[in-house]
A and B are shown apart, each in its own frame.
Chain A
Amino acid sequence: MSDHAMLEVRDLYKYFPIRQSMLDILLRRPANNVKAVDGVSFDLERGEVLAIVGESGCGKTTIARTLIGLEEQTDGEILFHDELVGAHERRARAGLVPLEAGTVGSSEQKVFPRMSMKRLRQQAQMIFQDPYESLNPRATILEIVAEPLVVHGLARGRDERLERVKTALEEAGLRPAEDYFLRYPHELSGGQRQRVVIASAMVLQPELLIADEPVSMLDVSIRAEILNLLRDLRQRRGVSIVFITHDLSTVAYFADRIAVMYLGRMVETGPAREVLANPQHPYTKALISVIPVPNPRLRRERVILQGETPNPIDLPSGCRFHPRCPVAVEACKVTDPANVLVGENHHAACLLLNVAASPNIASGEAAST
């Protein structure tokens, strides 16, 4: 094995072109894009849980769908076990890009082999947000959980297949599994359905689980159970999890690392405890300040963000957070901040941190503006 992480995402971009009206085309207005993911990089080690946190519409689901190949990235590379994945691969097979290899990283110019979508999907599985929508209403639980095995032609024997489905269901907390085999999704509660989804994702024993807000559609009372289940699976199976959520309070629970997203970009990444205890980016600070705290005496001062999230079509100039930032300065309107190291493995993208970290640069910049 190499020293690389299991999953590496480098400068991922996903733009959705906006369909233009006839008038726009006649007036030659430039074509617009929804910049759903706008330059995102992160690593994920084996057995690690990375929480991607952010408001609605910041591009979390788009990252997940791109990772699993449901969307084709506009630009950027996804490396899984040092092999290129992502929907690029499909075009590669169609002969548009050479299949054997691609180059990644201008600094290394290293050549990576490509992994087929089918192989990726044996090793990476996705859990969708809405358990009421992600199960085929006309399939039984047995069919649903066995489907990955069928699709990949694994466990061909009937007994073996039943055995694996049974194990998966019981690991997902649906016991006795046989009781569920012949039921339909509409006979189950939301929590049970999400357990079925998890069982079906785990039946292939993948190395990577991409969970897109797995509990946000569930009743508050069963959220903790599903989260516990995911944590158990991670401990027992050593599966890595990309855990997507808009709720910081749930991630404190079991994430190793946190990536905070704002409008298609990660503004702060770092070890979970570190980010929560010592947030650096003003956006992270604001998010953390509104997490409900049980003890009213310990309540921090809340930072309520002003204004709406700008739409990801016309991004603000400079720092994309500056229109809502409580501490923005003039320079924020013009300069897009780069990621700076603010602690061990802890990065944040804010100009003010730039100033603190390296006053020389800041004074030079101040002189130029």
Chain B
Amino acid sequence: MNENWTLFKRNLSDFWKAFRRNRLGLAGAFLVITSILVATFAPLLTPHAPSDIIRDEGGHGLTFAPPSVHGPLGTDDAGHDVWSQLVYGARISLMVGFMAGFIAMFVGSLFGILAGYFGGRIDNLLMRITDILLVIPDLPLMLILVATIRQLDLKISPLTVLIAVIGLLYWTSTARLIRSQVLTIKERQFVARARAIGAGHGHIIRKHILPQIMPLIVANTVLILSTAILVESGLAFLGLGDPTQPSWGTMLNFAFDRSAITNGAWWFYLPPGFAIVWVTLGCVLLGNVLEEMLNPRLTAHHLEGDQNMIAVPAKGAE
């Protein structure tokens, strides 16, 4: 579809023009993109695997070697290279965060749309579920859930358990947000017009509701990502991560378990903490800016933006 492509390019360039002017948004995008790049190209950024033991000339393992002695970030208690752990840990942290975030986004959007659009009993049921999930404190609930599932010995990778638990617990705020938007959108006249044309529910949701809330979903997803990454770090720090695939949270857990602090090995515990802040801050900045820019109530003003002025009269029409 040739015109779709033209449109897509035009929308993208419009978006970029507006986005480029926003410093916070650019900074957020920079933080997020660099961390994704680091995770993707981890093997190129370090000569060591995270499990390699670094030895000195004498063949002894270097434990708690400060950055001045080894590599950019020194070694941990077992002689592993901290920098390699950090860049490989990015893969785990981001993967868990992104997958959980997308699950939360998907479930939340689906429930929000169904509840808002159809109302009635579906709405009631879904909103009671979200109410219950909202009042139960997340962290204890997740701890119990993850620990219980572990106990069951289901041969599921611990990371999958983490992803599922985070993803299935963090959709409630998205669902509420989307639902309230859908409630207002479905009352608008273009939805009534679509019904009068003869459109069914599926068509109306796909063509009239979704395009209005898509920007909201995108912005919200980015925000959810930051939560998911933070929560993953928290759980991993409490020892619920996968020790064979250490994320940043797991690194922090190791550092505390193995008395990195009493040993003054700041290079062991500061970098993962800093990395977590880096990514979550990036997501929050980017998400807020996207939300601001894409909010359906703030855009589509015909008086906003020079290229959108209606100064072009229809030839032959008026």
A150 to B7, CA, bound (A): 20
> B302 to chain A: which residues have CB within 8 Å?
186-187
| Chain B residue with the shortest CB-CB distance to A158 | B1
> A68 to chain B: which residues have CB within 8 Å?
196
Q: Do B190 and A175 have beta carbons less than 8 Å apart? A: no
Q: Given A128-B192, A176-B315, are A187 and B7 also a contact pair (CB < 8 Å)?
A: no
Q: Given A70-B196, A118-B198, A147-B207, are A188 and B315 also a contact pair (CB < 8 Å)?
A: no
Q: Do B315 and A128 have beta carbons less than 8 Å apart? A: no
Q: Do A138 and B212 have beta carbons less than 8 Å apart? A: yes
Partner of A139, one of B207, B308, B313: B207
Q: Do B196 and A126 have beta carbons less than 8 Å apart? A: yes
A126 to B197, CA, bound (A): 8
**How far in angstroms is the closest Cβ of chain A from B192?**
6
Flag whether A359 is at the interface (Cβ < 8 A).
no
**How far in angstroms is the closest Cβ of chain B from A363?**
50
Q: Do B192 and A138 have beta carbons less than 8 Å apart? A: no
- Write the A185-227 contact mask toward B (1 if CB under 8 angstroms, else 0): 0111101100101001000000000000000000000100100
Chain A contributes a number of interface residues (CB within 8 A of B) equal to 47
Q: Given A125-B196, A138-B212, A152-B198, are A225 and B318 also a contact pair (CB < 8 Å)?
A: yes
> B3 to chain A: which residues have CB within 8 Å?
140, 142, 181-182
Flag whether A137 is at the interface (Cβ < 8 A).
yes
Q: Given A179-B315, A182-B3, A186-B308, are A128 and B193 also a contact pair (CB < 8 Å)?
A: yes
Q: Do B317 and A70 have beta carbons less than 8 Å apart? A: no
Flag whether B211 is at the interface (Cβ < 8 A).
yes
| Chain B residue with the shortest CB-CB distance to A132 | B189
Question: Which residues 177-214 of B sit at the A interface, judged by CB distance below 8 A?
Answer: 188-190, 192-200, 203, 207-208, 211-212
Q: Given A181-B3, A187-B308, A188-B310, are A174 and B194 also a contact pair (CB < 8 Å)?
A: no
**How far in angstroms is the closest Cβ of chain A from B297?**
11
Chain B contributes a number of interface residues (CB within 8 A of A) equal to 34
Partner of A130, one of B189, B194, B197, B318: B189
Question: Which residues 126-145 of A sit at the B interface, judged by CB distance below 8 A?
Answer: 126, 128, 130, 133-140, 142-143
Flag whether A148 is at the interface (Cβ < 8 A).
yes
Most interface-central of A130, A136, A140, A174 (chain B CB within 10 A)? A136
Q: Do B198 and A121 have beta carbons less than 8 Å apart? A: yes
Q: Do B189 and A133 have beta carbons less than 8 Å apart? A: yes
Q: Do B207 and A136 have beta carbons less than 8 Å apart? A: yes
> A138 to chain B: which residues have CB within 8 Å?
211-212, 300
| Chain B residue with the shortest CB-CB distance to A150 | B203
Flag whether B314 is at the interface (Cβ < 8 A).
yes
> B189 to chain A: which residues have CB within 8 Å?
128, 130, 133-134
Flag whether A352 is at the interface (Cβ < 8 A).
no
Q: Do B195 and A70 have beta carbons less than 8 Å apart? A: yes
**How far in angstroms is the closest Cβ of chain B from A182?**
6
Q: Do A192 and B194 have beta carbons less than 8 Å apart? A: no
Flag whether B316 is at the interface (Cβ < 8 A).
yes
Flag whether B68 is at the interface (Cβ < 8 A).
no
A149 to B114, CA, bound (A): 26
**How far in angstroms is the closest Cβ of chain B from A45?**
23
Q: Do B195 and A173 have beta carbons less than 8 Å apart? A: no
Q: Do A126 and B193 have beta carbons less than 8 Å apart? A: yes
Q: Do A192 and B314 have beta carbons less than 8 Å apart? A: yes
A360 to B296, CA, bound (A): 67
Flag whether A117 is at the interface (Cβ < 8 A).
yes
> A118 to chain B: which residues have CB within 8 Å?
198
Q: Do A186 and B301 have beta carbons less than 8 Å apart? A: yes
Q: Do B314 and A175 have beta carbons less than 8 Å apart? A: yes
**How far in angstroms is the closest Cβ of chain A from B298?**
12
- Write the B206-237 contact mask toward A (1 if CB under 8 angstroms, else 0): 01100110000000000000000000000000
A222 to B308, CA, bound (A): 21
Flag whether B148 is at the interface (Cβ < 8 A).
no
> B10 to chain A: which residues have CB within 8 Å?
182
Flag whether A309 is at the interface (Cβ < 8 A).
no
Question: Which residues 63-100 of A sit at the B interface, judged by CB distance below 8 A?
Answer: 65, 68-70
> A134 to chain B: which residues have CB within 8 Å?
189-190, 192-193
**19 further interface pairs, Cβ-Cβ under 8 Å (given A133-B189, A138-B212):** A65-B192, A121-B198, A126-B196, A133-B190, A135-B190, A136-B212, A138-B300, A143-B207, A151-B194, A151-B197, A151-B198, A151-B199, A173-B317, A175-B316, A176-B315, A187-B302, A191-B318, A192-B314, A195-B317
23 A-B pairs, CB-CB below 8 angstroms?
Answer: A69-B196, A126-B196, A133-B190, A135-B193, A136-B194, A136-B211, A137-B296, A138-B300, A139-B208, A142-B3, A147-B197, A148-B197, A151-B199, A151-B200, A173-B316, A174-B314, A176-B316, A182-B6, A186-B308, A189-B310, A191-B317, A192-B314, A195-B317
